[in-house]
Amino acid sequence: MNERRIMSKDKAKVTATEDFITGSEALLRCLQAEGVDCVFGYPGGSALYIYDAMVGNPDFKHILTRHEQGAVHAADGYARSTGKTGVCLATSGPGATNLVTGIATAHMDSVPLVIITANVFQSLKGSDAFQEADIISITMPITKHSYYVSDAQELPRIVHEAFHLASSGRRGPVLIDIPKDVSNQKLQYEPYSSSIDIRGYEAITDIDPMGVDELLQAISESERPVIIAGGGVVYASAADELLAFAERTRMPVATTLLGLGAFPSAHELWLGMPGHHGTFTANMAIQQADLILSIGSRFDDRVTMKVDGFAPQAKRIAHIDIDPAEIGKIVKTDIACIGDVKEVLNYANPSARRAKSDRWIEELKLSMSAHPLRYADSEQVLKPQYVIEMIYDTTGGEAIITTDVGQHQMWTAQFYKFKYPRSLITSGGFGTMGFGLPSAIGAQIGNPRRLVVSINGDGGMQMCAQELAICAIHQILVKIVVINNQVLGMVKQQQELMYDKRFSQIDLAGSPDFVMLAEAYGVKGLRASTKEEAERIWQEALATPGPVLLEFVVPSDENVYPMVLGGTTLDQMLLGNFDS
């Protein structure tokens, strides 16, 4: 959808009894009317009227991050963990452009955000004014829609539409750009109460029964079916429906990175994560399946790997997705079921019949037993996989886990067994380093009674480390784990395996002492380099009523296995040598 420039047509007369306020005051009221309980942001010149309106408004909660990227990632973590729409606010120019990486992160993973940017006076637009940037043009490819507000009277409608757009259909970020003069313009405030009618936009609500019936027939005839469940199951709050569907049809389930938690990890039908660092059984099952059903997964290249070698034995490939653009985009689709995942499964479940999969399921169980996830444990050094297992064992899979991006992210996906949806908060499609800590702040604010653990590498931790200040100031209870191997681990692993060990620019020696860094911000810091120390400091962290940073010093030569190299197929896995 293209930019919509708003002009007011009717100027109603204002009487003394009518509510006459500024655009900034109207904006805050609109956000509160949408149920927003926290905004993450950073002020600047063009946004000062908006921030001035917060003064004396105790009902409006704003968290001052230390960088705009921290604000957008925190809003993202809040949205993913709660299912609500996250909100962030920044000033014009560099303030707005500092949001771009976070907007792209949310766009790639279909996360509902409303991003509010201030801009220069309308009279200065296009003049290269101080801190001017055309943020709408910059972000157009990575937003679901954008609004440039030229009349404050339109703010109630625009804000209401923005939240509807962000949270309906395929969810995603919506940007509202507000010039400084508009934020100070007086208007007659009335809450927006009309029905939403946005030209060119209609969220898909109808289900095609013929497509679902064709799918159910294909399942009943299948002997080797596999479900690939993705983030769409989580976003549609359809985990219960997926569980019922899998049990009715007796279809094994592999969950993508963003789909982890959408299906119980302890269930007999769960195969693990497929793809680049997926389990042996999940990958081999896909390659041997006669029917592939993607539910809320977009056949990302990290799942399919070499596309022309993906699922070569599948007679039919079916796809349930809310976005028609995803159907057949990567993998040729034989059966399409377009619609909200929850609604499609609710329609399908009463009529669903068993596949002929009993023998297949037994074969997969044997495969899981024969090829579990493994690593070479050690009593001399602390292994990162051990740390993840320890965190899982002590939390029972009940915590909300956020990660940064890298090896630690994959070890978390492999060795932490997620029981519930919205328990893993991670950057999937965009792979954004710096995401882990601020997203944990947002998740903790959205879930104050849950334990939130942020697992980071020593590389990504330094990209948004300044948000430790927020943890200390607001006593945000997140436990911050730093897996410190003093190297850009995932880059090193690829250089080792794909570039003949020609290591280049991966040495992170000289990084700060993370314990001292945390304490400089007022956060308790602990360090471990052995199993005994790791268990002790983790228990101490859990017993501490406040934020804690835990640095776990691990070897720099540990790799993530299994691994499928780029350009190869899912059954060409490197399993690692754990016997030496």
Catalytic residues: 68, 130-131, 180, 490
Structure tokens at 458: 């020593």
Query: Of how many residues is the chain composed?
Result: 580
Residue type for position 558: E
> Under a CB-based contact definition with an 8 Å cutoff, are residues 46 and 92 in contact?
yes
Q: What are the C-alpha distances in Å from 396 to residues 391, 437, 446?
A: 8, 22, 21
Q: What are the C-alpha distances in Å from 137 to residues 42, 96, 127, 143?
A: 21, 12, 16, 10
Q: How many helices (H) and strands (E) does the chain have?
A: 22, 23
CB atoms within 10 A of CB 127: 10
DSSP letter (8 states) at residue 530: S
Interacting residues of 70 by C-beta distance below 8 A, sequence separation 6+: 40, 437, 438, 441, 464, 466, 467, 470
Map residue 548 onto helix, strand or coil: strand
Q: What are the C-alpha distances in Å from 478 to residues 39, 440, 451?
A: 19, 7, 7
- Cα–Cα distance for residue pair 525/515, rounded to 1 Å: 4
Q: What are the C-alpha distances in Å from 105 to residues 236, 430, 431, 435, 443?
A: 19, 5, 8, 9, 16
Radius of gyration of the chain (CA): 25
> Under a CB-based contact definition with an 8 Å cutoff, are residues 326 and 301 in contact?
no
Residue 495 half-sphere exposure toward CB, CA atoms < 13 A: 14
Residue 40 dihedral angles phi and psi, to the nearest 5°: -105, 130
Q: What is the DSSP string of 399-414?
A: SEEEE-SSHHHHHHHH
- Cα–Cα distance for residue pair 110/101, rounded to 1 Å: 14
Burial 280-311 (b: 16+ CB within 10 A, else e): bbbbbbbbbbbbbbbbbbbbbebbbbeeeebb
Q: Exposed, middle or buried, 123 (CB in 10 Å: 0-12/13-18/19+)? A: exposed
